[in-house]
């Protein structure tokens, strides 16, 4: 898990205001019957030890996944 930055904001996981880490982790998903590994960006809450994707991250992570898929079938 690589920390990119941290932002003080209302965290939607624990519903408290605190420094939320923006992190990059290697994610694994099955896409079109193929297992792909790709870097994904998440918000990390240390109170709940859970990850959260906002709308922009969902979009970027899905692009990153398709990118990894396309590279893997070449």
* Distance of alpha carbon 74 from alpha carbon 48, whole angstroms: 40
* Distance of alpha carbon 29 from alpha carbon 47, whole angstroms: 26
Q: Pick from 14, 22, 23, 52: which binds Zn ion (CB under 5 A)? A: 14
Contact between 23 and Zn ion by CB under 5 A: the answer reads: no
Contact between 43 and Zn ion by CB under 5 A: the answer reads: no
Question: Judged by CB, which is closer to Zn ion: 10, or 26?
Answer: 10
Token output for 41: 């960006």
In eight-state DSSP terms, residue 37 is E
Please give the size of the binding site for Zn ion, defined by CB under 5 A. Answer: 5
Residues at the interface with Zn ion (CB under 5 A): 11, 13-14, 45, 47
């Amino acid at each position: 898990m690589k920390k990119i930055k941290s932002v003080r904001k209302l965290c939607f996981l624990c519903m408290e205001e605190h420094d939320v880490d923006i992190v990059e982790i290697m994610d694994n998903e099955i896409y079109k019957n193929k297992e792909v590994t790709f870097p994904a960006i998440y918000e990390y809450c240390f109170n709940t030890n859970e990850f959260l994707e906002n709308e922009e991250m969902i979009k970027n992570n899905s692009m990153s996944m398709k990118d990894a898929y396309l590279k893997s079938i070449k």
